[in-house]
């Protein structure tokens, strides 16, 4: 005699799984979006509190309320055009600088992964370059390359380079020893091992390095604007101009636009990383629930 162990709904011919899955998906979406939205509301509340309660009206220019920043910076046609024009130039510098940093950083990472003596020769200087304050070399860069767009690109590459180098080197060295032994057994050459084993194994780490470098490239383009102000004005030049004129609403608006550019760069490379590796790397129960 067999016993029917199905749930009552299933025994009656109903579908049990679909409503449960839908509820889990809705709960996953809520758990994904509610925390950042709650944090944003708290942040805006604190901002309004400081603007209207802690600051007197004659000192409110130090921190204008959020709606005033949006109205002056983005709803006014002249200010909006000025900010977006400068932001486009900074975006172009960040994109070109990031591309150069990726090419140079991957070349250095691959070279260091091929021989220990190359890594010992180059990696310490890559770390030193990352630790040197930008301000210390600004005069040298300006004297050699002028104080225009070329110097801004150099600063952008400089700031964004190290994450690409370190993530590429780490990723290339993360291939399993057993897979290396298998390639050795088949007498695979150095280029075959690099192309078919090391680079695929390094892909998650490399793309994570690109994601970090993308945000740093935006920072580099803004920092370069502060130091090298010849030529067209980027968003950093505009921020410094608003500071000098005490135009605080426009200053906060330009800073917000620069921050959103960094967020978009981070999100874009995160999306590329998920598309490229999401099917076989980094899937977690949290991702599945979301």
pLDDT number for residue 244: 86
Q: Cβ neighbours of residue 208 under 8 Å, at least 6 residues apart?
A: 167, 273
- Percent of the chain beyond pLDDT 70? 84
Q: Where does the pLDDT of residue 215 fall: very low under 50, low under 70, confident under 90, or very high at 90 and above?
A: very high
Q: How confident is the model at residue 22 (pLDDT cuts 50, 70, 90)?
A: low
Is there a contact between 122 and 140 (Cβ–Cβ < 8 Å)? no
Does residue 163 carry a pLDDT above 90?
Answer: yes
Whether the Cβ atoms of residue 225 and residue 234 lie closer than 8 Å to each other: yes
Higher-scoring residue by pLDDT: 277, 266:
266
Query: What integer pLDDT is reported at residue 284 of this predicted model?
Result: 42
> The tokens of 52 are what?
């209207």
- As a whole number, the mean pLDDT across the chain is 82
How far is Cα 124 from Cα 7, in angstroms, rounded to an integer? 64
* Distant-in-sequence contacts of 247-250, Cβ < 8 A, 24+ apart: 248/61, 248/62, 248/63, 248/64, 249/64, 249/68, 249/69, 249/71, 249/72, 249/73, 250/72, 250/73, 250/79, 250/83
For residues 98 and 96, give the distance between their C-alpha atoms in angstroms, rounded to a whole number: 5
* 223-262 pLDDT tens trace: 888 887 776 778 888 888 888 888 888 999 999 999 999 9
Burial 173-188 (b: 16+ CB within 10 A, else e): eebeeeeeeebeeeeb
**Model confidence band, residue 197 (pLDDT cutoffs 50, 70, 90):** confident
User: What's the CA gap between 59 and 56, in Å, rounded?
Assistant: 5
- Which residue, 253, 289, 266, is CA-closest to 215? 266
Report pLDDT digits (tens) over 35-90. Answer: 888 888 998 899 889 888 888 888 888 888 898 989 988 988 888 999 999 999 99
Euclidean distance between CA atoms 276 and 126, whole angstroms: 28
Q: Is the pLDDT of residue 167 over 80?
A: yes
Per-residue confidence (pLDDT) for residue 285, from 0 to 100: 37
CA 143 – CA 96 distance, rounded (Å): 22
Residues recorded for the chain: 290
Residue predicted with more confidence, 10 or 130 = 130
pLDDT tens-digit readout, 131-159: 888 777 877 888 888 877 888 899 999 99
The tokens describing 106, both together, are: 């991957």
Region class of 121: left (phi > 0), else alpha (psi between -120 and 50), else beta: alpha
When comparing pLDDT for 103 and 226, which is higher? Answer: 103
Q: What is the pTM of this model?
A: 0.79
pLDDT of residue 107: 94
For residue 283, the model assigns a pLDDT of: 45
């Amino acid at each position: 005699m067999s016993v029917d162990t199905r749930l009552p709904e299933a025994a009656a011919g109903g579908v049990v799984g679909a409503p449960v899955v839908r509820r889990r998906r809705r709960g996953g979406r809520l758990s994904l979006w509610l925390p950042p939205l709650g944090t944003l509301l708290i942040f805006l509340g604190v901002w309004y509190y400081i603007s209207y309660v802690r600051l007197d009206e004659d000192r409110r220019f130090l921190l204008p309320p959020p709606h005033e920043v949006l109205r002056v910076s983005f709803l006014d046609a002249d200010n909006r055009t000025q900010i977006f024009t400068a932001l486009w130039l900074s975006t172009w510098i960040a994109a070109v600088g990031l591309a150069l940093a990726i090419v140079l950083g991957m070349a250095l990472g691959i070279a260091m992964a091929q021989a220990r003596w190359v890594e010992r020769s180059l990696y310490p200087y890559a770390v030193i370059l990352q630790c040197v304050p930008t301000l210390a070399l600004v005069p040298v860069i300006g004297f050699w390359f002028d104080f225009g767009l070329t110097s801004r690109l150099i600063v952008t590459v400089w700031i964004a380079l190290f994450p690409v180098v370190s993530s590429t080197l780490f990723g290339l060295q993360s291939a399993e020893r057993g897979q290396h032994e298998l390639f050795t057994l088949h007498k695979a050459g150095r280029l075959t091992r690099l192309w078919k084993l090391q680079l695929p194994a390094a892909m998650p780490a490399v793309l994570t390095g690109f994601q970090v470098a993308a945000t740093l490239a935006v920072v580099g383009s803004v920092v370069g604007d502060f130091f090298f102000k010849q030529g067209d004005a980027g968003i950093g030049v505009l921020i410094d101009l608003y500071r000098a004129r005490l135009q605080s609403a426009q200053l906060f608006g330009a800073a917000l636009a620069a921050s959103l550019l960094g967020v978009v760069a981070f999100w874009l490379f995160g999306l590329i990383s998920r598309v490229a590796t999401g099917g076989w790397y980094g899937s977690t129960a949290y991702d599945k629930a979301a």
